[in-house]
Amino acid sequence: MKMAQDFEQKIKTALQEECGSILVSNQMKQKIDEEIYQNQEEKRMKHFSMRRVVIGVAVACLFLTGAGYAVGKTEGFKSSLDFTKYRKYDSFEKIAEAEEKLGYEVDCVEQFSNGYTFVGAEKQGVDAMDENGKTTYTFEQLVIEYQKADEPEISLYIEKPIETFEDTKTPDAVRECEGITVEYDLYTYKCVPTDYELTEEDMANENRDDYFISVGSDEVEISMLSSVTWEKEGISYNLLGFDLTITPEEMLAMAEEIILAE
């Protein structure tokens, strides 16, 4: 018994001796604090970017029907097509090919009465993402571009919605056309670099329905997004453009022309 106790004691002493003089380095706590800070920052950035924004490229920033929150799990959308480089359907006649691929017909015009004219279209896949950035499903949308002299470009996004969105923003203007409600909204878009730290003002703006912060630009850029949305025969339409010079009434008139197009 005594021998067994001695042996047990020897193990304890040996282990204590083995590590007794080891001390935690002075930098350890600093490293821990830094890692905690980084982790919290990443989470915060991820949270705000996923909640209200789009991590897209070029103009294909956002397509949320009614720009509300998803009723389901979707917290954001991601696409990665640069429309300035790819325009598969480069003539208005080729829209028929796109319709064939999509499996449904779409409403669109070649030229608007205000002078905006068709320049090209592309079909793209869009990933719907949950709050962790995981793709929950993918859908296709058609994007048609319109240009007018030196005016900012206007894009028409068309898709068959997979999930319903609860509208949280009151439209800035509404028009009825052929029994279809067309809504106009104006949003502020703030694009920021990935290492950007949110200001108190940003945090307050985050709670607004008309303010979006997106991550991915080289420097802080603020743009105004004009958006007109409607739904016809189960297909969603979103006509939008950044920093447009045309009035909300003109935008609504353009939507009307699309709805009435043959």
Q: Can you spell out the DSSP letters for 172-194?
A: SEEEEETTEEEEEEEEEEEEE-T
> Between 2 and 12, whose beta carbon lies closer to another protein?
12
Q: How far is the CB of 16 from another protein (least distance, A)?
A: 7
Minimum distance of another protein from residue 31's CB (angstroms):
5
Q: Which is nearer to another protein, 17 or 178 (CB)?
A: 17
Closest CA to 159 of 109, 122, 130, 133: 122
* Alpha-carbon span 154 to 158, nearest angstrom: 13
User: What are the structure tokens assigned to 229, written together?
Assistant: 């949305």
Q: Which is nearer to another protein, 4 or 149 (CB)?
A: 4
Least separation, in Å, of the C-beta of 129 and another protein?
A: 23
Minimal distance, residue 14 CB to another protein, in Å: 4
Q: How far is the CB of 213 from another protein (least distance, A)?
A: 24
Of the candidates 2, 11, 176, 219, which one interacts with another protein according to CB under 8 A? 11
Nearer to another protein, 15 or 203 (CB): 15
Subset of residues 16 to 55 that bind another protein, contact rule: CB under 8 A: 16-25, 28-29, 31-32, 35-36, 39-40
221, 191 Cβ separation under 8 angstroms: yes
Which amino acid does the sequence have at 6? D
Q: Are 74 and 136 in contact (CB under 8 A)?
A: yes
Are 52 and 29 in contact by the 8 Å Cβ rule? The answer is: no
Determine the 3-state secondary structure of 93 from DSSP: helix
Dihedral angle computed from the Cα positions of residues 45, 47, 51 and 53, in that order, rounded to the nearest 10 degrees? 20
Count of residues in contact with another protein, rule CB under 8 A: 26
Interaction between residue 14 and another protein (CB under 8 A): yes
Q: Which residues would be at the binding site for another protein (CB under 8 A)?
A: 7-8, 10-25, 28-29, 31-32, 35-36, 39-40
